[in-house]
Structure 1
Amino acid sequence: MDPTDEARIIEDLPNFQFLADSLNTTSAMSAKWSVNDGAVVYSKPQPVNWTLELEALRKTDVNHLRFRENYLVIDTMVGAERRVDFIAISEEQEVQKVSIRLVNNQITYYYAEKNESSIFSSSLLIFEFKPTSYSLTLNQSIPWLFESNQKVVGTIINAGSLWRGVITMGDKKTPIQFILDGEGQKMSLRNGPESIGFNQFSSIGDTLIFGSDYFPSNFRLRLLSDSTLEGYWINNKREVTRKLRLSAKKDVPYRFLAHEVPEHNVSGSHAAVFYDANGSAADTVILRLTQRAHAVSGSFLTETGDYRFLEGVVRNDSLLMSTMDGTHVYLFEAEITGQSLKGIFYSGPTYRQPWTAQLLSAPILRDPKTITALNDSVPFDFSFTDPEGAKVSLSDDRFKNKPILVSIMGTWCSNCLDEAVFLKEVYETYHDSGLEVVGLDFELVSDSSRAIENIKRHKAGLKIDYPILLACLSSSKQKAASILPSLSGVYSYPTLLVLDKNHEVVRVHTGFNGPATGVNTYDEFRMEYLTLIDALVKDI
């Protein structure tokens, strides 16, 4: 009898075969790196039979009635995300933990941990899946005779080809990764678990134009051969267009090349300091990193937002990380000396900023709920036009006796994009119960037609149904503060205001630290605000 045919504890829960079938359906390929005896080995993208590739998961499927007494089963909803955990009651169970996350019944995360041991040998298997990658760690040992530590990490390439791009920023070359679909008309930037779409395709002669789904930017590229692209990334978020040269090679399976597992491990939360032109400390932040073998991922957390998904390597005594999110391109380099990092932050053709970090000594940042104060003498209010020219005001009947989330944001802002994903989830979960969401857009450009185009793109790319209103052109934080006098100032885009049904401001959250900051930080935020919103909706 096939174990997958057994009666299940949770009947509607997809299993590993469901995951394999979905990847096989899209003809997804895999580009892998592995570690063998300390050496890092890369393989180019290859077709994969995902049923065989995920075979190790078959023996971790504990969603069967015969295991019911052996596991604590937790099945909960957090916003739009379903979370299912199987946690072994006894350490004697081979499979110690299985965690599955789903959105719209699609698996967005799968984790399994299996531990076998006896007086003669032991083995530990850990499998982790995300929509853009997966990893398998296998540690085996026989005391005094044998020990093996193996790791395989694969990048999932859905119906397309993997490219390594290099953006020229003055005297620096910044690597990025992206995927082109089989027709060569859709581009997806990859930063760790993140995919950023550039799917607005057009062409002029032999120049291929990939416009961002969210931001006023595009790639203009020419195919020099089947495996070589050259062109520019063009950023139109400001009055003056910025253009950076890009070259790209097909089927390169790494961002930064590393040949061996380094001695250094920079995992953890660290105190980082950025310095101004005079060498004085300008900003103290948290650098949060995760290192697997040579590969590093993480972000800088500031009081007003994060630097989004950074990805890179530790190579010898150096830390190298980069990201490209459609509105920024960043490169971080640092030398590792003992418990310290010392390096340079590069952005654009000329921006350079020194930074240092002290490992495992993270500072305490201010609570984002305390940064922006309310001016009690000026009640909060808004009245701006939507992209169709209709005026939308807080006093409108549509908002009467309803709690409202108001986001002070910009379509050019990547932290605002992260917040918009959360607000979309909240809106879809609670709108039918009375919740409203409004975005107040502060544009950097002076042309209203460009600003309206930016808003329409932002809404269409995210499939947002709540209104986004044009609040200001040629905006600055000083202008935003004058437009919103009920606040002590506007210190960050985004800033979120939570209004109850009487339109009293019950919470102001400055900035947004999104998914790049790590599961715990982002989950804590989501849980806190989903709980608050749930209570406000129930009070209608």
Structure 2
Amino acid sequence: MKRSYLVILFFTISIFTTIQAQRLDEGYWKSQLKLQNNYSLDFHFSIDEHQQMIIYNDTEEVELNAFEKSDDSIKVYFTNFPTYLIFKASSSKSLKGYFVNPDRKGFKRIEFEADFAGKKLNQVFDYKKTSTDIAGKWEVYFNPNTKHEHPAIGLFKQQKSKASGTFLTETGDYRFLSGNVKNNKLVLSCFDGAHVFLFSATLENDTLKGKFLSGIHYQTNWYGIRNENFELKDPDSLTYLVNDEFKFNVETVENEVYNYPNDDLKNKVVIIQIIGTWCPNCLDETRFYKELYEEYNEKGLEIVGVAYEVPKTFEGKVDRINRFTKNKEIEYPILVGGYASKKESSEDFGMLNEISSFPTSVFINKDGKVVKIHTGFNGPGTGKIYEDYKIKTKALVERLLNE
């Protein structure tokens, strides 16, 4: 009996020790992801008294789910995506492990490490005065002097050496970027569970010249010059009808055929939202459309999402869509498109010239006529641009409802 008690006692102590080892120090942590060519993406997160982890990208707060025990490691999933961090705690103040994106065929794992910084945010950052000024609007080109060159707008803010902002492209924005300016060097980054974006540049006279890295699988050059008057193409002009009959058929999450147009949407104002639940810009748009739906559904607005997902099986796609609608409390239906491919979505919506971006939204009046097609989405990271778009879209919906 004594031996049995000793075994039970040892097992109990082992469990208690494991639980204690999993408890991380409350406060702010400095962390980094190790990218290619000796680059690293620095970010910070906090751990609260409930062991809730929150990652910060400028003003964005990315909440992760509760810690899970995974063999001898700790695993924590992002709430919005199937990605996760898995790590071991060598102490309550030091972590090492990986960021994992299971949807990637290659380059799934990126090395991750973190160290406790302190209870206060100023223990993470020490922003100082600098003579380098990057604040303002920049005319930017990625992949310059190649056939893949494409324009963007850099919108940057600066307080002392603290830098923040985003890039606008013709298919959406790069969301919340934060970093610093030091000795003519600019660094901006975003890590939100989907994006692993690092932008670095050197200010030479009036030109920023640098590199853009996405995870450990992609990098390219970019440059920017100050230009307050620079504009991109109108996102309402990029996708258009090539024949007048807008119709499609896909499946519901219940595996039933869904045809558009249909009797349920007659005499309704309709937004068809072409998205992927893996897409952060789609998430931003969906949060806005949730507001629209709650405000205008009883007045005659209907929104129908069509999601293109990474899993190959129908069941896998449904799982992603159901998790998305449940987590975000989306009341309008999201249907099952095909694989997460602009080519495949373009084939399904063959009446359009192409689907060049997730998301793409088609606005339809009560008579069933397409009145606007909006490509991409510039979300809350763009500040006034986002707020102005919300006002403009609400005005359009109200006009269509009153016609």
Fold agreement, TM-score > 0.5: yes
Q: CA deviation at 1:492?
A: 0.8
Say whether 1:513 aligns with 2:381: no
Q: CA deviation at 1:361?
A: 4.7
Say whether 1:488 aligns with 2:327: no
Name the SS for the 2:268 alignment partner. coil
Letter in 2 for 1:374: L
Measured at CA, do residues 227 and 424 of structure 1 come closer, stay the same or move farther in structure 2, by a change above 3 Å?
same
Write the mapping of 1:133-148 to structure 2, written as runs, cut at 5 A: none
Q: Distance in 2 between matches of 1:337 and 1:255?
A: 31
Match of 2:191 in 1: 324
**Greater share of helix residues, 1 or 2?**
2
Q: CA deviation at 1:180?
A: 2.5
On the 8 A contact 1:213/1:458 being kept in 2, the answer is no
Measured at CA, do residues 466 and 211 of structure 1 come closer, stay the same or move farther in structure 2, by a change above 3 Å?
same
Q: CA deviation at 1:263?
A: 0.2
Q: CA deviation at 1:257?
A: 5.5
Match of 1:538 in 2: 402
Q: Distance in 2 between matches of 1:337 and 1:501?
A: 54
Write the mapping of 1:429-444 to structure 2, written as runs, cut at 5 A: 429-444=295-310
Deviations 1:109-143 (Å, cap 9, x if unpaired)? xxxxxxxxxxxxxxxxxxxxxxxxxxxxxxxxxxx
Match of 1:476 in 2: 341
Q: Distance in 2 between matches of 1:394 and 1:180?
A: 47
Name the SS for the 2:149 alignment partner. strand
Q: CA deviation at 1:402?
A: 1.1
Name the SS for the 2:227 alignment partner. coil
Q: CA deviation at 1:230?
A: 1.6
Match of 1:384 in 2: 250
Deviations 1:218-262 (Å, cap 9, x if unpaired)? 111222211112211111234557111110112354798556311
TM-score (norm 1): 0.66
Match of 1:209 in 2: 75
Match of 2:238 in 1: 371
Q: Which moved more, 1:446-455 or 1:481-490?
A: 446-455
Say whether 1:194 aligns with 2:194: no
On the 8 A contact 2:29/2:124 being kept in 1, the answer is no
Q: CA deviation at 1:179?
A: 2.4
Measured at CA, do residues 311 and 213 of structure 1 come closer, stay the same or move farther in structure 2, by a change above 3 Å?
same
Q: Distance in 2 between matches of 1:331 and 1:490?
A: 27
Letter in 1 for 2:141: V
Name the SS for the 1:251 alignment partner. strand
Say whether 1:272 aligns with 2:140: yes
Say whether 1:314 aligns with 2:181: yes
**Greater share of strand residues, 1 or 2?**
1
Q: Distance in 2 between matches of 1:344 and 1:256?
A: 25
Write the mapping of 1:67-466 to structure 2, written as runs, cut at 5 A: 161-170=27-36, 171-184=38-51, 186-199=52-65, 201-240=67-106, 242-251=108-117, 253=121, 260-275=128-143, 282-361=149-228, 363-377=230-244, 379-466=245-332
Match of 1:51 in 2: none
TM-score (norm 2): 0.87
Q: CA deviation at 1:182?
A: 1.8
Letter in 2 for 1:493: F
Deviations 1:146-202 (Å, cap 9, x if unpaired)? xxxxxxxxxxxxx95322221111221111222233232x32221111112222543
Q: Distance in 2 between matches of 1:397 and 1:247?
A: 55
Measured at CA, do residues 255 and 498 of structure 1 come closer, stay the same or move farther in structure 2, by a change above 3 Å?
farther
Q: Distance in 1 between matches of 2:122 and 2:323?
A: 31
Q: Distance in 1 between matches of 2:104 and 2:327?
A: 20
Name the SS for the 1:355 alignment partner. strand
Gaps of 5+ in 1: 1-158
Name the SS for the 2:181 alignment partner. strand
Name the SS for the 2:247 alignment partner. coil
Q: Could you say which structure has the greater relative contact order, defined with CA pairs below 8 angstroms and 6 or more residues apart?
A: 2
Match of 2:10 in 1: none
On the 8 A contact 1:255/1:312 being kept in 2, the answer is no
Name the SS for the 1:264 alignment partner. coil
Q: Distance in 2 between matches of 1:213 and 1:355?
A: 32
Measured at CA, do residues 399 and 161 of structure 1 come closer, stay the same or move farther in structure 2, by a change above 3 Å?
farther
Say whether 1:522 aligns with 2:390: no
Q: Distance in 1 between matches of 2:49 and 2:87?
A: 16
Q: Distance in 2 between matches of 1:432 and 1:465?
A: 13
Name the SS for the 1:535 alignment partner. helix
Q: Distance in 1 between matches of 2:60 and 2:53?
A: 13
Q: Distance in 2 between matches of 1:389 and 1:521?
A: 39
Q: Distance in 2 between matches of 1:362 and 1:415?
A: 25
Match of 1:504 in 2: 369
Gaps of 5+ in 2: 1-24
Name the SS for the 1:459 alignment partner. helix
On the 8 A contact 1:285/1:363 being kept in 2, the answer is no
- Number of residue pairs the alignment of both structures matches: 376
Letter in 1 for 2:288: F
- What's the C-alpha RMSD, in Å, of the aligned pairs? 2.2
Q: Which moved more, 1:174-183 or 1:293-302?
A: 174-183
On the 8 A contact 2:281/2:379 being kept in 1, the answer is yes
Measured at CA, do residues 467 and 370 of structure 1 come closer, stay the same or move farther in structure 2, by a change above 3 Å?
same
Measured at CA, do residues 161 and 410 of structure 1 come closer, stay the same or move farther in structure 2, by a change above 3 Å?
same
Q: CA deviation at 1:502?
A: 2.3
